[in-house]
Structure 1
Amino acid sequence: MTMESATDAAPLRTQTVAVKSSFYLAMRILEPARRDAMYAIYAFCRAVDDIADDEGDRAQRREALDQWRYDLDELYAGRIRPRSAFLAGPVRRFGLDRADFEAIIDGMAMDVEEDICAPDWEKLELYCDRVASAVGRLSVRAFGLVDDGAKELPTAPKLLAYHLGRALQLTNILRDLDEDAARGRLYLPREALEEAGVSNHAPHAVLANPALDQVCAPVMSRAREHFEQADLVMAGLSKNAVKAPYLMAAGYRSILDGLTARGFAPPRAPVRMSRRKLVGALLRHAFL
């Protein structure tokens, strides 16, 4: 199979995966080729994330990620393997950078190598760049913020990927504390724990600590700063090209607002994206 003959059916298969995403509405409003590219990017992320979150043997999970690296080797050499065929069209049409796919795998490998627990800010930054901002760097090409075929990302799209990726990932970390703890993981930064006087960094011990709100505060603050910076970048870009990231930001900011209102003391009721705020953002964007 070559780049030119890769699958016509791929968009349908990837949409089935993407419909489960919190970002489905934001992807759905894109024009067809860009929408299908976003479905493909999400499907890739879902596939490697499922490997990282599997509770099986670490060596087998590492091997599974390495198989995706091999598939990328083949894909970018023009030899399309069936499993990765859904990426061929978007890679060719929008010049998606292999290094960003590799970075995403590297981020998932961090979870495979160990159950991350209380990383320092530097390690957390690296993790966020790999699992979130790298996705953003692929996405800004699909959104239409980069000339098709351009090798380098212009400054503004690169900054949008940097800030919005981190804002979304930090929000995820705060939202998913209990789910991550069940896997033995804790992504809250070590410095925040120490500043709050929390000495036991075991995930469930941290989540039961009365100082948890204090631990989460700098993470929430940093997430808001990234949302604000992303807003500033989007304000200077084409309104049509930022309609998807605009909705992504609005939806996830509503989660962050919900977490702020709820706090982190147990029991922690789940916080979900506000449909009202998401629809309101969609309507506001339609009249910009």
Structure 2
Amino acid sequence: MSVEAAANAGDYGSTASGSSFYAAMRILPRAQREAMFQIYSFCRQVDDIADSNGPRPERLAALQQWRDDIDALYQGNPPARLKDTAASVKTFGLKREDFLAIVDGMEMDVPQDIRAPDLATLDLYCDRVASAVGRLSVRVFGLPEEDGVQLAYHLGRALQLTNILRDIDEDAGLGRLYLPREWLWHAGITNNDPARVVADRALPKVCAPLAERAKMHFQKADEIMKRNSRRAVRAPRIMGKYYRAILDLLIARGFAAPRAPVRVSKAAKIGILLRYAII
């Protein structure tokens, strides 16, 4: 339900077979599974462009080519790399604007690295790189329109905020800082140098409310999934429970330096699959 959760992202940086995304999608019927892996492939490719070390003008041009290819897809003339996606677009009613929003989200890091965005910009970023992926996904899963859009809104933001909290040090190493400017200032952190921010003793004062916001979005997503068919929400529920487990580990660890990486144990992952993959 997010570029980070499907390709990284959050597991886009890992192999598909090792990711929570893969585990959640492999339980789907064939047509849905293929559509989701097409979305996965698209997200991974645009994410790789944004995260590459290539010259920024070249990355911007590569992202623009993806926009042109998406336009061609919806005009009935898909390029080779989107030919397989054409059938899924028709079968599941996937929307052009959601694909384009993902590209726009990836582009937000390209002209210059994101550093301490204001809350509105952070929310826009989360909507583009996470909730837009969710809007494509819920159509594949077969959720009703209104609940599907709301699930994408809340679960996408929950996953992306969890990623931000998990990857604070990794992002700082890349010169990026996704923590909101207003909350940094409130904590008395007035610079936006990622290396200095992540070493600041006041950092937990910024991370704690962000974790609470993520928890709120997880709760809202759970409420939506509870009132829908278990079959329709199997995959998003697995991803949501996996990422909620990551968030709980982060909160238990705390956000003061040094921050040891957190990982959901293999036993916990299997427990989530056994509980939610079986109808």
Q: Give 1:270's aligned amino acid.
A: P
State the SS of the aligned residue for 1:241: helix
Indicate the residue corresponding to 1:123 in structure 2.
Answer: 121
Indicate the residue corresponding to 2:96 in structure 1.
Answer: 98
Q: Aligned ranges for residues 177-196 of structure 1 at < 5 Å?
A: 177-196=168-187
* Offset at residue 286 of structure 1 (A): 5.0
Indicate the residue corresponding to 1:12 in structure 2.
Answer: none
Find 1:37's aligned residue among 22, 35, 38: 35
Find 1:27's aligned residue among 6, 25, 28: 25
* Offset at residue 142 of structure 1 (A): 1.1
Tell me how far apart the structure 1 counterparts of residues 242 and 202 of structure 2 sit (CA, whole Å).
28
Tell me how far apart the structure 2 counterparts of residues 48 and 27 of structure 1 sit (CA, whole Å).
20
Aligned 8 A contact 1:104 1:130 in 2:
yes
- Kindly report the root-mean-square deviation, in angstroms, between the aligned alpha carbons of the 2 structures: 1.5
Tell me how far apart the structure 1 counterparts of residues 64 and 15 of structure 2 sit (CA, whole Å).
22
* Offset at residue 91 of structure 1 (A): 1.1
Aligned residue-pair number: 266
Q: Give 1:233's aligned amino acid.
A: I
* Offset at residue 278 of structure 1 (A): 2.8
Q: Give 1:225's aligned amino acid.
A: M
Q: Deviations over 1:105-141 (max 9, x none)?
A: 0101111122000001100000000000000000001
Which sections of structure 2, spanning at least 5 residues, go unmatched?
A: 1-13
Tell me how far apart the structure 1 counterparts of residues 223 and 181 of structure 2 sit (CA, whole Å).
30
Higher relative contact order (CA 8 A, sep 6+): 2
Q: Deviations over 1:186-222 (max 9, x none)?
A: 0000111111111122101011001111110111000
Aligned 8 A contact 2:235 2:277 in 1:
no
Change (3 A) 1:75 1:17: farther
Indicate the residue corresponding to 1:164 in structure 2.
Answer: 155
* Offset at residue 285 of structure 1 (A): 2.5
Q: Deviations over 1:63-103 (max 9, x none)?
A: 00000011111111111211222322211211110100000
| Counterpart check, 1:210 vs 2:208 | no
Indicate the residue corresponding to 2:57 in structure 1.
Answer: 59
Q: Percent identity?
A: 59
Tell me how far apart the structure 1 counterparts of residues 26 and 165 of structure 2 sit (CA, whole Å).
26
- Give runs of ≥4 in structure 1 deviating > 4 Å: none
Q: Using the TM superposition, name which of 156-165 and 20-29 deviates more.
A: 20-29
* Offset at residue 46 of structure 1 (A): 0.5
Find 1:263's aligned residue among 254, 266, 269: 254
Which sections of structure 1, spanning at least 5 residues, go unmatched?
A: 1-15, 147-153
Larger Rg: 1
Q: Aligned ranges for residues 71-150 of structure 1 at < 5 Å?
A: 71-146=69-144
Q: Give 1:23's aligned amino acid.
A: F
State the SS of the aligned residue for 2:230: coil
Q: Using the TM superposition, name which of 42-51 and 192-201 deviates more.
A: 192-201
| Counterpart check, 1:280 vs 2:276 | no
Indicate the residue corresponding to 2:237 in structure 1.
Answer: 246
Aligned 8 A contact 1:250 1:278 in 2:
no
Aligned 8 A contact 1:251 1:274 in 2:
no
Q: Deviations over 1:5-40 (max 9, x none)?
A: xxxxxxxxxxx9633533110011111111111111
Aligned 8 A contact 2:238 2:277 in 1:
no
* Offset at residue 287 of structure 1 (A): 5.9
Tell me how far apart the structure 2 counterparts of residues 86 and 179 of structure 1 sit (CA, whole Å).
34
Q: Deviations over 1:232-274 (max 9, x none)?
A: 0001101110000000001001110111111122222211234
* Offset at residue 145 of structure 1 (A): 1.3
Indicate the residue corresponding to 1:149 in structure 2.
Answer: none
Tell me how far apart the structure 2 counterparts of residues 158 and 275 of structure 1 sit (CA, whole Å).
31
